[in-house]
Amino acid sequence: MTAIKGLEGIVATTSSISSIVDGVLTYRGYNIDDLAEHASFEEVAYLLWFGRLPNAEELQSLQQDLSDFAAIPDKLIEQMKLYPQDANTMAALRSAVSALGLYDEAADDMSPEANEKKAIKLQAQLPTIIAANARIRQGKEPIAPKAGVSIAENFLYMLRGEQPDETSIKALDQALVLHADHELNASTFASRVTVATLSDIYSGVTSAIGALKGPLHGGANEAVMKMLSEIGTIDNAESYIQEKLNNREKIMGFGHRVYKNGDPRAKHLQKMSRELGEMKGDTSLYDISVLIENIVTGQKGLKPNVDFYSASVYTQLGIEHELFTPIFAMSRVSGWTAHILEQYDGNRIIRPRAEYTGLTDQKYIPIDLR
């Protein structure tokens, strides 16, 4: 047995949800470029769960369900108020989603209908949890979700306590479409491993949130913003990046396990970042980002991934950097739950082997002789 570190190149399952072939990302056969231009996030979530785009009536019905399920239990809000105020926002989300399962009487109902309903509930409730936690951290009262509006609009409304502008809603909606699914990424794999033991969907999503939190995965977008803040002005960018490269440090938001010629999602976020900067009359964050890209791609051949330009997009939307990875989660929960439903349907426990590199032929020595 020879280990393949990081399972690189291992095909661990079949899936009909999303694919990456020759650098092209598709959801259920639809190119991500097409969906990013034309589809709403709700349409994409429907597509991921049910395998086809909804008609008008089906979309309306899903939007109604998402609205109906968006509120979270008062007891969960009370619990969240007890979290340390400076708790990591992904740790808070992980804890809250785990607790959410406690309040769902159908948490362990493994019928396909119950699991489908829980997938929609989780999608509806994650934005509410994230916005509530953000407000609690600021010492403010959470705001109840609004009925009849999109997830992007509702999230910004619950976060800010006022009606968001159309540009922000559209930008966030497009970002959610771009983050919705991504084949067998680390967090999706974690969710599938968990539910392949026939554990419940809340456990699967909790595992996924834990995996997404890390800076080599979803946590990179927050780390990118930290880097942009440390750089501050464009004059500092070159020396800052050069020093990191000289020290063989990783530049967050660059590189990818699967894409070696560029992440197809990055160009949409780059365009969004530029347009938001131009609209606000300040493209400094975008300009610094482009300069970093030129240096890193020029010297290392590494291209930006989805996390790189999403950092400047969210910042220009006035969103605090601690919420970047939770926003990733609030989109990716559509993909996680689609994969969880697919895993349940034709499940086999996921249990690989390890190449043993430890000691052998050890003889037990009584404790008083050691």
254 counts as binding ligand ACO under rule CB under 6 A = yes
6 counts as binding ligand ACO under rule CB under 6 A = yes
117 counts as binding ligand ACO under rule CB under 6 A = no
Query: Cα–chain-centroid distance for residue 89?
Result: 13
Catalytic residue among 256, 268, 321, 339, which? Answer: 256
289 counts as binding ligand ACO under rule CB under 6 A = no
Q: Which of 118, 192, 213, 256 binds ligand ACO (CB under 6 A)?
A: 256
At 244, which amino acid appears? K
In 3D space, the residue among 308, 265, 302 whose CA is nearest the CA of residue 290 turns out to be 308
Task: With residue 27 as reference, give the H or E element that holds it.
Answer: strand 24-27
Near ligand ACO by CB under 6 A, which window of 23-31, 93-101, 134-142, 250-258?
A: 250-258
Near ligand ACO by CB under 6 A, which window of 107-115, 199-207, 214-222, 231-239?
A: 214-222
Q: Give yes or no: 282 in active site.
A: no
Catalytic residue among 217, 307, 321, 339, which? Answer: 307
**Residue 370: CB minimum distance to ligand ACO, A:** 39
Contact status, residue 44 vs residue 177, Cβ threshold 8 Å: yes
Give bridge partners of residue 21 from the DSSP assignment. Answer: 24
147 counts as binding ligand ACO under rule CB under 6 A = no
Q: Which of 204, 253, 277, 335 binds ligand ACO (CB under 6 A)?
A: 253
Nearer to ligand ACO, 6 or 298 (CB): 6
Nearer to ligand ACO, 253 or 335 (CB): 253
**Residue 240: CB minimum distance to ligand ACO, A:** 13
Helix (H, G, I), strand (E, B) or coil at 286: helix
**Residue 63: CB minimum distance to ligand ACO, A:** 27
260 counts as binding ligand ACO under rule CB under 6 A = no
252 counts as binding ligand ACO under rule CB under 6 A = yes
305 counts as binding ligand ACO under rule CB under 6 A = yes
Long-range contacts of 199-203, Cβ-Cβ distance < 8 Å, separation of 24 or more: 200/101, 200/107, 200/108, 200/110, 201/107, 201/115, 201/118, 201/119, 201/122, 201/337, 201/340, 202/97, 202/98, 202/100, 202/101, 202/104, 202/107, 202/118, 202/122, 203/98, 203/101
Radius of gyration of the chain (CA): 21
Nearer to ligand ACO, 115 or 270 (CB): 270
Q: Which residue is nearest to ligand ACO (CB)?
A: 255
Contact status, residue 190 vs residue 210, Cβ threshold 8 Å: yes
Q: Which of 24, 147, 216, 279 binds ligand ACO (CB under 6 A)?
A: 216
257 counts as binding ligand ACO under rule CB under 6 A = yes
Rounded distance between C-alpha atoms, residue 224 and residue 316, angstroms: 14
Near ligand ACO by CB under 6 A, which window of 23-31, 114-122, 150-158, 251-259?
A: 251-259
175 counts as binding ligand ACO under rule CB under 6 A = no
Near ligand ACO by CB under 6 A, which window of 34-42, 108-116, 164-172, 301-309?
A: 301-309
Helix (H, G, I), strand (E, B) or coil at 21: strand
Task: Tell me phi and psi for residue 69, to 5 degrees.
Answer: -95, -5
Q: Give yes or no: 321 in active site.
A: no
Helix (H, G, I), strand (E, B) or coil at 182: strand
Nearer to ligand ACO, 137 or 179 (CB): 179
Contact status, residue 151 vs residue 176, Cβ threshold 8 Å: yes
Task: Tell me phi and psi for residue 88, to 5 degrees.
Answer: -55, 130
Nearer to ligand ACO, 6 or 358 (CB): 6
Helix (H, G, I), strand (E, B) or coil at 31: strand
**Cα→Cα distances 204→126, 312, 355, Å:** 14, 30, 26
Q: Strand order of the sheet with strand 30-31?
A: 18-21, 24-27, 30-31
Active site residues: 256, 307
The residues that touch ligand ACO, with contacts defined as CB under 6 A, are: 6, 216-218, 220, 250-257, 300, 302, 305-307
